[in-house]
């Protein structure tokens, strides 16, 4: 983990209310991988807390993130231009990792949760793993990365809540409809908590025991495990887990959703 000043290479809208930002790293930063996140200072003294955003794509010299305009912090980010600088702490969190025996992988992503799912596809591109992607957006205007998912997946199903693009369905529903075809060895998921809850309930109802890992989104303070703002409850235990440091990726049975 390092704090670095990065230079923005590109920052542009890619769908309704969604921006894609690529920034250059000033030096080699080790350990950046799928499912980890970046904590970004929006560069305004009035906004002291950094904003956590998942890594979407990365190479040795740059990182790409995609973010939804939500409040003041992301609005300030959207005003940044190529050449501007930002302070970032990265990489943070544990991220997703696949075992050698995970040959068939289901990716279930909703809303801004689709971007960490894409980081998994990129990370394991060319490794022989087969990906089955179920990606949900609110509506057609919010759809992005559809071609990118299609290019790297055996099957990519893009669905929308209102049916204006693909089926009228959510990512979890699309996944369960196709489960017999996908036959995944492992399931990875990221999206709003109600979506992850529906995934957990659906697996339990069907008695499915396939390993499943979910990336949680919690409000964060420090992002490095010190402030306890981001804690979530561990299932059946009194102790808590810190989403920023122990996660954001957890085995689905490990945490209360
Ligand atoms: C590990 C992780 C990865 C994330 N990855 C992405 C991503 O790839 N793309 C994306 O668009 N969003 C992502 N988010 C959510 C993103 O951090 C918030 O949308 C963003 O911080 C909102 O900031 P704001 O100032 O615009 O909104 P405001 O509502 O003004 O924020 C006020 C405060 O609440 C926090 N906050 C608000 N909403 C959230 C939220 N949903 N999760 C965590 N903190 C929040 C902010 O960080 C800030 O401290 C991620 C969150 C986490 C925890
Ligand atoms: S954000 Fe401070 S402990 Fe997680």
Quick one: pLDDT at residue 43? 75
Q: Is 46 in the pocket of ligand 1 (CB under 6 A)?
A: no
Q: Is 220 in the pocket of ligand 2 (CB under 6 A)?
A: yes
Q: Whose CA is nearest to atom 30 of ligand 1?
A: 71
* 76 alpha carbon – ligand 2 mean position (Å): 23
Q: Is 245 in the pocket of ligand 1 (CB under 6 A)?
A: no
77 and 110 share one domain: no
Range of the domain at 59: 2-92
User: 165: which strand partners?
Assistant: none
Sign of the torsion formed by the C-alpha atoms of 24, 25, 28 and 34: negative
Provide the pLDDT confidence category of residue 223 given band limits of 50, 70 and 90: very high
Q: Is the pLDDT of residue 46 over 80?
A: no
Mean pLDDT, the chain, whole residue set: 95
Residue 225 lies in a domain: no
114 and 77 share one domain: no
137 and 75 share one domain: no
Quick one: pLDDT at residue 151? 98
Quick one: pLDDT at residue 236? 85
Q: Is 52 in the pocket of ligand 1 (CB under 6 A)?
A: yes
Residue 99 lies in a domain: no
63 and 109 share one domain: no
The contacts of residue 183 (CB under 8 Å, 6+ apart) are 104
**What digits encode the pLDDT tens for the residues 49-102?**
899 999 999 999 999 999 999 999 999 999 999 999 999 999 999 999 999 999
Residues 185, 209: Cα–Cα separation, whole Å: 10
The CA angle 233-220-37, to the nearest 5 degrees, is: 100
The CA angle 251-208-252, to the nearest 5 degrees, is: 15
* 217 alpha carbon – ligand 1 mean position (Å): 8
Count up the domains in the chain and report the number: 2
CATH number at residue 194: 3.40.50.80
Q: Is 73 in the pocket of ligand 1 (CB under 6 A)?
A: yes
What DSSP string runs through 153-222?
-SEEEEEETTSSSS-BS-HHHHHHHHHHHH--SEEEEES-HHHHHHHHHHHHHTT----EEEE-----SS
Residue 24 lies in a domain: yes
136 and 88 share one domain: no
Report the predicted TM-score, pTM, of the whole model to 2 decimal places.
0.96
Residue 145 lies in a domain: yes
110 and 84 share one domain: no
Q: Is 73 in the pocket of ligand 2 (CB under 6 A)?
A: no
Residue 23 lies in a domain: yes
Which of the listed residues 56, 66, 69, 70 should we mutate to test ligand 1's pocket, taking the one with most ligand atoms within 8 A of CB? 70
21 and 80 share one domain: yes
Residues 152, 25: Cα–Cα separation, whole Å: 26
Residue 56 lies in a domain: yes
Quick one: pLDDT at residue 77? 95
User: 11: which strand partners?
Assistant: 21
Q: Is 79 in the pocket of ligand 2 (CB under 6 A)?
A: no
Quick one: pLDDT at residue 8? 98
Tell me the percentage of the chain whose pLDDT exceeds 70.
98
119 and 194 share one domain: yes
Residues 12, 139: Cα–Cα separation, whole Å: 20
86 and 170 share one domain: no
CATH number at residue 58: 2.40.30.10
């Amino acid at each position: 983990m390092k704090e670095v000043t990065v230079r923005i290479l590109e920052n542009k809208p890619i769908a309704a209310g969604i921006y894609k930002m690529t920034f250059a790293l000033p030096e080699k930063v080790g350990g950046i991988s799928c499912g980890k996140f970046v904590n970004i200072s929006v560069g305004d003294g009035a906004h002291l807390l950094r904003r956590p955003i998942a890594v979407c794509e990365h190479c040795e010299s740059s990182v790409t993130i995609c973010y939804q305009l939500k409040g003041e912090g992301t609005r300030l980010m959207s005003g940044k231009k190529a050449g501007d600088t930002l302070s970032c702490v990265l990489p943070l969190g544990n991220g997703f990792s696949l075992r050698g025996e995970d040959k068939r992988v289901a990716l279930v992503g909703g809303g801004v949760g689709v971007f960490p799912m894409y980081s998994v596809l990129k990370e394991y591109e060319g490794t022989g793993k087969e990906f089955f992607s179920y990606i949900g957006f609110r509506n057609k205007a919010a759809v992005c990365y559809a071609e990118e998912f299609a290019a790297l997946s055996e099957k990519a199903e893009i669905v929308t809540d209102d049916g204006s693009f693909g089926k009228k369905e959510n990512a979890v529903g699309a996944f369960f409809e196709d489960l017999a075809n996908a036959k995944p060895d492992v399931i990875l998921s990221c999206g709003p908590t109600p979506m992850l809850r529906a995934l957990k309930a659906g697996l339990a109802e069907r008695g499915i025991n396939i390993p499943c890992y979910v990336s949680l989104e919690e409000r964060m303070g420090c992002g490095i495990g010190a402030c306890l703002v981001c804690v979530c409850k561990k299932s059946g235990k009194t102790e808590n887990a810190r989403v920023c440091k122990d996660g954001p990726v957890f085995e689905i049975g490990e945490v209360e959703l």
